[in-house]
Structure 1
Amino acid sequence: MATRRIQRTEESRRLLVTAAAELFAEKGYRQTSFIDIADKAGISRGSIPWHFGNKLGLLEAVVDDQLQAVLTGFAPPVGEPAGDSLDQVMRFIRLPVTRLFITLLAEAVEVGSPIRAHYARLHAALRQGVQARIPTEALPPGTTPRALAVLLVGAVIGIHAQWRVAPEAVDLEAVHATIRALLPASLGQT
């Protein structure tokens, strides 16, 4: 009996996080209400504070869930080589979760935004994930993995925003080829 209740609780939480992620990506954090999330998840809106405390707690769960999915995507399968880190960064642009991150950015940059700290944590984790895949020996003199990670995460955010706004104007394959041409050849392989 207790196991079944735990399973229902976990399923309810998962449905709420999934619904909130989709709605935050579509409408933004502030424009999404408990009612919207509960309706989309098919769960009572009273479940949201029970599981997460408040809307900010739900946002934290969404960011943690989505960030874990992204970072897992950066990691190679156990026992396999890491592969091409630039390809992985470019694949990130096409992920549906990237839309969520871009939508949240618009709200996170506002002074006093309740999601600013969460977004800063998200950016830090993305930079750390990219930086971990940059071989120091491949960098040109005077550059650091940390600075390149900032550059690549910023480029991905900007490229993704342009692609979402005007997909017909942004050729992602050409952008990928251009970034590859500009970076040292050994940098894409880790």
Structure 2
Amino acid sequence: MATRRDERTQESRRLLVAAAAELFAEKGYRQTSFVDIADKAGISRGSIPWHFGNKLGLLEAVIDDQLQAVLTRFGAPADDPLGQVVDFIQVPATRLFITLLAEAVEVGSPIREHYARLHAALRQGVRARIPAEALPPGVTPEAFTVALVGTIIGVHAQWRIAPEAVDLEAVHTAIRALLPAGLA
């Protein structure tokens, strides 16, 4: 049975992860400080290293939390599994993933390895929804998954930058029209 102290500890951890996720999405990893996170969470900044060791430990917790939320959301059976994947464009966590991408592609980035794990998990989640028999000859499920995830990331980035210029319903229709018949 969890004690009151255990409950407070878990709540502090949850608040810190939520605050960091929001700030990393808004400002990026490097531009977000412990003070920013602590202020947003309403918790002492000394709690961050106590819970996570360091900023990278906090980033890992944020990515794990957000990825788990996405996989849970998209893990449920759906009448339209591919529509579920395309709908990922509008998931709030996608903004975090896109913001971190800009930092992760830099050579020597401290978040590159974490981001590579994130992409691998996203590809795995999407791949699970793609029946190999629906793909055209010569197109592997792995290659198709990389192309689809890349499309979704690119559309999301465009939508975030200029939402008035991106009609998500029309994009959804276009993606479906371009898909092999067994997937659309």
Shared fold per TM-score greater than 0.5? yes
SS in structure 1 at match of 2:143 = helix
* Aligned-pair identity (%): 82
What is the TM-score when the length of structure 1 is the normalising length?
0.94
Aligned equivalents of 2:80, 2:75: Cα separation in 1: 11
Range 33-42 or range 143-152, more displaced:
143-152
Give ranges in structure 1 of 5+ residues lacking alignment.
none
2:161 is aligned, of 150, 165, 186, to: 165
What is the CA-CA distance between 1:83 and the residue it aligns to? Answer: 2.2
RMSD: 1.2
**Can you list the C-alpha shifts for 1:147-170, whole angstroms capped at 9, x where unaligned?**
111011100110000000111111
* Distance change in 2, residues 1:2/1:83 (3 Å): closer
The 5 A counterparts of 1:39-118 are: 39-76=39-76, 81-118=77-114
Aligned equivalents of 1:109, 1:147: Cα separation in 2: 20
**Can you list the C-alpha shifts for 1:61-107, whole angstroms capped at 9, x where unaligned?**
0000000000111112xxxx432122112211111111000000000
What is the CA-CA distance between 1:2 and the residue it aligns to? Answer: 6.4
Aligned equivalents of 1:2, 1:97: Cα separation in 2: 30
**Map of 2:28 onto structure 1:** 28
Give ranges in structure 2 of 5+ residues lacking alignment.
none
Aligned equivalents of 1:2, 1:89: Cα separation in 2: 37
What is the TM-score when the length of structure 2 is the normalising length?
0.97
The answer to whether the Cα contact below 8 Å between 2:25 and 2:95 also exists between their aligned partners in 1 is yes
Aligned equivalents of 1:110, 1:2: Cα separation in 2: 43
Aligned equivalents of 1:155, 1:20: Cα separation in 2: 27
- Opposite residue 126 of structure 2, the aligned amino acid is V
SS in structure 2 at match of 1:187 = coil
